[in-house]
Structure 1
Amino acid sequence: MPEELPPILALAREKVLDRGEGLSREETLRVLQLGEEHIEALLALAHQVRLKWCGEEVEVEGIISLKTGGCPEDCHFCSQSGLFESPVRSAWLDIPALVDAAKQTQKTGASEFCIVAAVKGPDERLLAQLEQAVAAIHAEVDINVAASVGILDAEQVRRLAAAGVHRYNHNLETARSFFPEVVTTHTWEERRETLRLVREAGMEVCCGGILGMGETLAQRAEFAADLAELDPTEVPMNFLDPRPGTPFGGREPLPAADALRAIGAFRLALPKTILRFAGGRELTLGDLGAEQGLLGGINAVIVGNYLTTLGRPAEQDLDLLGKIRLPIKALNATV
């Protein structure tokens, strides 16, 4: 006979799988508190939810850093802050380099290419270069262009939407109650306001964060509820990869079991959202965990390297998708 589900997973089967309603904050916390003996059942249910409400396709994305390092903010996890003694040096990419990176990303089968800059928000130089880069990429590459250049005002949002940026990434990073332990140079509310402007301008909202920065399970559940209230198109799931020279450089990576529980819990809280494997998954989960995540609620991946850390070779992720028979979402399926 099949093993009886824990009460919270039985509830989730009825509420999330059958009706497509995400778990509440309190219910998500109960999932995060499940013992390791229930992780397999949790991931199996999360995969069923993802297949029913999102389909079987996996969205593939590549990212590139337009401006690296020298950021004035003090995000405690980030080696690109100019306030910390970290080995990342400042650098700018020109437009031809961005176009070439978009072409290389397209060759992996990706439908998504995100341009990122390490800034609090864009100045005129950066914004103008980004507008020009988006136009140049669209002229030569058949790929969706997303952007992540910090906190925006209404006019900057309007310009990016007019330039053809279809999805804007701005992570809330963590629960509202824990945010002051992570960043002190700007507020959670400032980030949330940028996301409101992005949605009003008609761009898709991409918003996630980093797990394993010292937040409690209750705060992890709070974060999932914050995201559910926001209802973004995409939620990148990052796991802390402690960077030398940063305030969080000495923290231990999140245990794999906790990361898998979080993946399952976030899928049950966000049944119809794109959940994307992002930074830190290699350190936290390894190869086996990557497969478990893709069969446990994840339906998108960043392939290749991240902004300041190495990822898995793109071919390795693409081979894995083939092995577990998950098709890559085509560009025309994302519009």
Structure 2
Amino acid sequence: MSQILDRARARVLADGVGLDQAEILEILRLPDEALPELLQLAHDVRIKWCGPEVEVEGIISLKTGGCPEDCHFCSQSGLFSSPVRAIWLDIPSLVEAAKQTAATGATEFCIVAAVRGPDKRLMEQMRAGVKAIKEAVDIQVAASLGMLTQEQVDELVEMGVHRYNHNLETCQSHFPNVVTTHSWEERWSTLKMVRESGMEVCCGGILGLGESIEQRAEFAAQLAELDPHEVPLNFLNPRPGTPLGDQPVVEGKDALRAIAAFRLAMPKTILRYAGGREITLGDLGTREGLLGGINAVIVGNYLTTLGRPATADLELLQDLKMPVKSLSATF
């Protein structure tokens, strides 16, 4: 049991070199009694290679529902019988949401749209929205608009979007079981263009999509190969009316093992708590994850599900003596 942890201390903690896929699998297979030692190691790695600060972010949906894709976990797909219907947000509402996000102490505000990729209308709304936000509030603007063309990547850079989120969702071998209307490789192509543009790459996924433990290790290794600036880690919150609506949620201890494993795979990456942690981990587990490798959080609600109150997360960070990253530190 201790051999893999000793190797991780020698290489990840000492040198900042992440574990490979086989070693990640060893971590994911550790017994429950090894969990405290594993979480402590992941926390030590996070502190050494990322520092004590926690990046706080809020997200808002510019265009909700009516998506033509069939991502089996997503209630925003227009192909399923989930209750989410298509809604467009106006610019004043977008600006107000950015102000409210900044008021929590967040440094990052991500504009999300449920689309395969942006059309001309959406790009025009993004341009107007980003401009209005930058004029009204001092906050970084990120975007998540699906798959992009090179021209759209260049447009977003010109607008001043500094980080782009496009999740791989799961590993390459499991992806066809989760999405059939586009390929894993199409997502990878967008991420390569984003990286080459100079925008920061935000790429993660969802655990609990029916993947095996081996595929969970595969996913962590593939993300490490991509080397994103940030990895949002979601846990499936099954949505009524979707093909994965009856999928069981990830067990809390398995979620904590995964958090630590992803940290040991990517010691220098921002690892962000995202959707589903509330039902998978609850308050106590959320605390343990922050002491087990997590160094960023999305505060407030998500796109179609409720999150913890922003004040609860901020109070927890204060209690743990984890400073919130200042805006100037993100430039």
* Shorter-normalised TM range: over 0.9
Q: Secondary structure at the match of 1:236?
A: strand
Q: Which residue of 1 aligns with 2:11?
A: 15
Q: Which residue of 1 aligns with 2:164?
A: 168
Q: Secondary structure at the match of 1:116?
A: strand
Instruction: Report the AA paired with residue 227 of structure 1.
Output: L
1:119 aligned onto 2:115: yes
The range that moved more, 5-14 or 197-206, is 5-14
Q: Secondary structure at the match of 1:57?
A: coil
How far 1:73 moved relative to its partner?
Answer: 0.2
Question: Quick one: which of 253, 259, 269 aligns to 1:273?
Answer: 269
How many residues are paired up?
A: 331
- Taking the aligned partners of 2:153 and 2:16, their CA distance within structure 1 comes to 32
1:142 aligned onto 2:138: yes
1:255 aligned onto 2:251: yes
- Two-structure CA RMSD over aligned residues (Å): 0.6
Q: Which residue of 2 aligns with 1:211?
A: 207
Instruction: Report the AA paired with residue 17 of structure 1.
Output: L
Q: Residues 1-335 of structure 1 correspond to what in structure 2 (within 5 A)? A: 6-335=2-331
- Taking the aligned partners of 2:280 and 2:2, their CA distance within structure 1 comes to 26
Unaligned runs of 5+ in 2: none
- Taking the aligned partners of 1:131 and 1:278, their CA distance within structure 2 comes to 26
- Taking the aligned partners of 1:199 and 1:247, their CA distance within structure 2 comes to 32
How far 1:90 moved relative to its partner?
Answer: 1.1
Q: Secondary structure at the match of 2:62?
A: strand
Q: Secondary structure at the match of 2:59?
A: strand
- Taking the aligned partners of 1:334 and 1:48, their CA distance within structure 2 comes to 22
Instruction: Report the AA paired with residue 173 of structure 1.
Output: E
Runs of 4+ in 1 over 4 A off after TM superposition: none
Instruction: Report the AA paired with residue 141 of structure 1.
Output: V
Q: CA offsets, 1:151-182, max 9 Å, x none?
A: 00000000001000000000000000000000
The TM-score with structure 2 as length reference comes to 0.99
How far 1:200 moved relative to its partner?
Answer: 1.0
- Taking the aligned partners of 2:141 and 2:185, their CA distance within structure 1 comes to 26
Q: Secondary structure at the match of 1:319?
A: helix
Q: Secondary structure at the match of 2:281?
A: helix
How far 1:6 moved relative to its partner?
Answer: 1.2
